[in-house]
Amino acid sequence: MKVDLNKISGPYAEALLEFAQANKALEEIQKDAVLVLNFMMSSSELKKFLDNPVITRDVKKRFVKDLFSDKIGDNTLKFVLLLIDRKRIDVLENIFQKFQDLCHEARGIEIVKVTSSIELSVDNQREIVKQMKFLRGSEKRIRLALKIDTKILGGYILEFGSTMVDISVRGQLTKISTLLGA
């Protein structure tokens, strides 16, 4: 049975956002979340350790305290320890990613993920932002999350909200081959 991570991570992320706003600690907790996310994404061993059901909660909590106590604020550390207590540490990445999305939304910023085959110039980035503002008809500020994937051959793929716009060479070739029945 597959678990919907959004159903689990959403309420935790929303609660963390409310807590951060109420305690005027939004910026601090957001920075801490980015730091923890970077640790998690760069260390598969850390993720395996925290996800391991054989390792006790106390051992995980001691390890997390040793690893993060001098790197993140007390509020964020307590939140991570709470996730260990509630056996939700396995969705920490999803929670912090959702939290980041909620922070941007609260600040009126829309994140647009741009995947391109090469690094985009500043002018290309400005043009994408300009086009996105026109498309969205929104007063929100647009921030680009850039990613390079040489497999798309050229062009780029835009992802915003639940929408994906694929104007990559690979995407166009796939459409053509579908039309031709290949």
182 residues of the chain, pLDDT tens digit each:
455 667 888 899 999 999 999 999 999 999 999 999 888 888 889 889 988 989 999 999 999 999 999 999 999 999 999 999 999 988 999 999 889 888 888 888 888 888 988 898 999 889 988 888 887 776 678 888 888 888 888 888 888 777 888 888 887 888 888 888 76
* Same domain membership, residue 88 and residue 116: no
Among 89, 105, 121, the domain-final residue is 105
Residues 23 and 56 in one domain: yes
Between β-strands 109-116 and 141-148, what pairing exists: parallel, antiparallel or unpaired?
parallel
18 and 99 inside one domain: yes
Q: What is the value of pTM for the model shown?
A: 0.69
Residue ending a domain, choose from 105, 136, 167: 105
Same domain, 63 and 132: no
pLDDT at 136: 73
Q: Are residues 54 and 114 in the same domain?
A: no
**Residues 101 and 112 grouped into a single domain:** no
Find the domain containing 57 and state its range: 5-105
Assess whether 11 and 86 both reside in one domain. yes
Q: Which of 86, 105, 124 is the last residue of a domain?
A: 105
The pLDDT value recorded for residue 1 is 47
| Per-residue pLDDT, 3 | 58
Q: CATH code at 74? A: 1.10.520.20
Domain check: are 95 and 120 in the same one? no
Q: Domains in the chain: how many in total?
A: 2
pLDDT at 182: 60
Q: Are 84 and 113 part of one and the same domain?
A: no
Tell me, yes or no, whether 101 and 156 share the same domain.
no
Is residue 33 located within the same domain as residue 83?
yes
